[in-house]
Amino acid sequence: MFYKKHFTLPQTQNLLPDLKPKLLKIINLKKILDEKGYDIYKHHFFGGLGTNGTGKYPQDLESLIELVNQITKDGIILKGINEGLIDFPHIRNNGEEVFLCYLYGEEKILFWHRIQEGFAGRQNLDSL
């Protein structure tokens, strides 16, 4: 097994009401930082201007990091900041470790995929 914690489908569905607003905030904070010219992956403003001479990161980045930590601390995997894509490690009935997959905007968790296949390999829960 790659992951220590695994989620059941009912657990993931119950977590979504708390996760959805956090994912929306993450998506919006990323857009704000992009508009300000801040690269969250390199931790500096585009053009290499660092933390803009203040020695501190932008408050929007601090807020984004806090939200990411809240989501991931219990084993949820944030796969896409721009679109609010998260995966939940899950064990199928046959013992295979897979991900239950949620994309912000979907009503509930409707898809799963094998770990190595990623988002492109998403399958309907009926085949879980």
Q: Which residue has the tokens 């679109």?
A: 83
* 76/73 Cα distance (integer angstroms): 7
Give SS3 for 86: strand
Q: Supply the pTM of this predicted model.
A: 0.89
* 64/40 Cα distance (integer angstroms): 9
Contacts 24+ apart (CB under 8 A), 115-123: 115/2, 119/79, 119/80, 119/85
* 56/87 Cα distance (integer angstroms): 31
Residues of the chain with pLDDT under 70: 43-56
Query: pLDDT (tens digit, 9 = 90+) per residue, 11-47?
Result: 999 999 999 999 999 999 999 999 988 888 776 665 5
